[in-house]
Amino acid sequence: MQFLDLPAAESAAGVVCLPGSKSISNRALLLAALAEGTTQLHNVLVSDDTARMVDALRTLGVVVVQAGATDYRVDGICAPGLLNFPVGEASLFLGNAGTVFRPLTAVLAMAQGHYRLSGVPRMHERPIGDLVDALRQMGAQIDYLGNEGYPPLEIRPARIRGGEIPIRGSVSSQFLSGLLMALPLSVRPSHAVPAIRVAGELVSQPYIGLTLALMERFGVRVEHEAWRRFTLPGGQRYRSPGEFHVEGDASSASYFLAAGAIGGGPVRVEGIGRDSLQGDIRFADALEQMGARIGWGAGWIEARAPESGRLRAVDLDCNHIPDAAMTLAVTALFAEDTTVLRNIASWRVKETDRLAAMSRELRKFGAIVEEGEDYLRITPPDGGLVGNVAVDTYDDHRMAMSFSLIALARPLRINEPECVGKTFPDYFERFAAITCT
């Protein structure tokens, strides 16, 4: 499908049962593969990104069986000593899935195999040098097959060393997450307690918290000192929890919560709540700062428009909600005055340069946008949003889903809407179900 036309909607209300979290699904699939024992995974997200992880694990010889629409059985390969996948040499195509490419790079660097990792052209433009540098300091043998600092990569068997490994935290939290998940595989009887030290600012800290929480569910506890130094005591290794249920996707929830705040509501999302492991649930707090009325439960969040009927602008550090902040950028078009979203430099190394893409598309609707190195300043147009605009999505699922919110004011066209298949294949059907045209 080359484009999708969305009619203008008068309001938004309803209930949405969220698909499983992409971040949790791909971490859980990998940890289950590395664990001792068999894991039953429930509510796994079915999307392009998770398909890349499942395909990669199967190529490596891991038994991954789909037991239902969103259920998988994974037979772990963990054994004392060196990590060895059943398949010792393979070429893996990983699409544009950062939650697959980065952790698999770290894990396969610990394995005694020969692997080539590649992706789509955009993945070959997304930096990975900080992770490769850290792994090389551990003794990993990794070569670039194209441009220095970027995929594709070739990994060969190597003698892994212990000690404290520094890694920069300012580009992508996925580098640190991948290194953390690989850390138990680096342990040797003669090694000191392995450690990771973060150099510079740590972006997207909630995603690191998510990684640590999932590692603990699979039997490995990592200690940290103020999120700057991480250590793995006691020679631990991964063990299956038996059953694991993936909670709903908090980033995906942001579109529906914003729809409730813009379109009247109430819109309720089910599958996440106060006890969610995901940092993006704090998007609801941002909406509340904008005047939206937010309700919480153990497994749900609900959003309504402000009593005044109009959202207010915010000036917000978005380091803790980098993905959901894209939803805020479009929501800002429905707010009074100027919204500033700060600390979002990580947008530039995502599926597209999201800072540039978001600025370009917001301007199509008449917004005044100032694009900085790590911030956006967004002022909605005085005379209302321009209608019948065609939004370019840059093969970025979050661009498509974020801009669907414009339909709560004006009709629009979404170009290449099938990009939502990366994380939410039936998004537009779900969005249509809560909007009244």
What does 230-257 look like in DSSP terms, one character per residue? EE-GGG---B--SEEEPPB-HHHHHHHH
Q: What pTM, to 2 d.p., does this model score?
A: 0.93
Task: Please name the fold of domain 3-19+247-436.
Answer: UDP-n-acetylglucosamine1-carboxyvinyl-transferase; Chain (3.65.10)
Phi, psi (deg, nearest 5) at residue 330? -75, -40
Q: Classify domain 22-236 at the CATH superfamily level.
A: Enolpyruvate transferase domain (3.65.10.10)
Closest CA to 47 of 395, 429, 423: 423
Q: Domain residues of the chain, as ranges?
A: 3-19+247-436, 22-236
Under 8 Å between Cβ of 333 and 406: yes
What is the residue whose two structure tokens read 């059953």?
243
Decide: helix, strand or coil at residue 385.
coil
Under 8 Å between Cβ of 305 and 257: no
Decide: helix, strand or coil at residue 178.
helix
Which pLDDT does position 79 carry in this prediction? 63
Q: Is 262 exposed, middle or buried (0-12, 13-18, 19+ CB in 10 A)?
A: buried
- Which are the catalytic amino acids? 323
Closest CA to 115 of 82, 74, 150, 87: 87
**Element housing 283 (H / E):** helix 283-289
Spatial separation of the C-alpha atoms in residues 361 and 356, rounded to whole Å: 9
Which pLDDT does position 295 carry in this prediction? 98
Which pLDDT does position 82 carry in this prediction? 53
Residue 267 corresponds to which tokens in the numbers above? Answer: 């819109």
pLDDT digits (tens, 9 = 90+) for 11-70: 999 999 999 999 999 999 999 999 999 999 999 999 999 999 999 999 999 999 999 999
Edge-to-edge order in the sheet of strand 114-118:
89-93, 114-118, 153-156, 141-144
Which pLDDT does position 162 carry in this prediction? 76
Q: What is the DSSP letter of 392?
A: P
Q: Please report how many Cα atoms fall inside a 13 Å half-sphere around the Cα of residue 265, on the Cβ side.
A: 24
Which pLDDT does position 61 carry in this prediction? 97
Spatial separation of the C-alpha atoms in residues 282 and 148, rounded to whole Å: 36
Decide: helix, strand or coil at residue 239.
strand
Under 8 Å between Cβ of 13 and 434: yes
Spatial separation of the C-alpha atoms in residues 341 and 377, rounded to whole Å: 7
Decide: helix, strand or coil at residue 142.
strand
Closest CA to 322 of 125, 170, 430: 170
Closest CA to 267 of 282, 275, 257: 257
Residue-wise burial string across 188-215, b where 16 or more C-beta atoms lie within 10 A, e elsewhere: eeeeeebbbebeeebbbbbbbbbbbebb
The one-digit pLDDT tens for each residue of the chain (437 residues) are: 799 999 999 999 999 999 999 999 999 999 999 999 999 999 999 999 999 999 999 999 999 999 999 999 999 998 655 578 999 999 999 999 999 999 999 999 999 899 999 999 999 999 999 999 999 999 999 999 999 999 999 999 998 887 889 999 888 899 999 999 999 988 765 556 788 999 888 888 999 999 999 999 999 999 999 999 999 887 788 999 999 999 999 999 999 999 999 999 999 999 999 999 999 999 999 999 999 999 999 999 999 999 988 999 999 999 999 999 999 999 999 999 999 999 999 999 899 999 999 999 999 999 999 999 999 999 999 989 998 899 999 999 999 999 999 999 999 999 999 999 999 999 999 999 999 87
Closest CA to 184 of 228, 220, 143: 220
| Cα 348 versus chain centre, distance | 14
Q: Could you check whether 3-19+247-436 and 22-236 share the same CATH topology? A: yes
Residue 107 corresponds to which tokens in the numbers above? Answer: 């894990």
Angstrom CA distances, 289 to 204, 292, 307, 314, 341, stand at 20, 7, 13, 7, 13
Spatial separation of the C-alpha atoms in residues 40 and 75, rounded to whole Å: 9
Which pLDDT does position 192 carry in this prediction? 65
Residue 372 identity: G
Under 8 Å between Cβ of 362 and 338: no
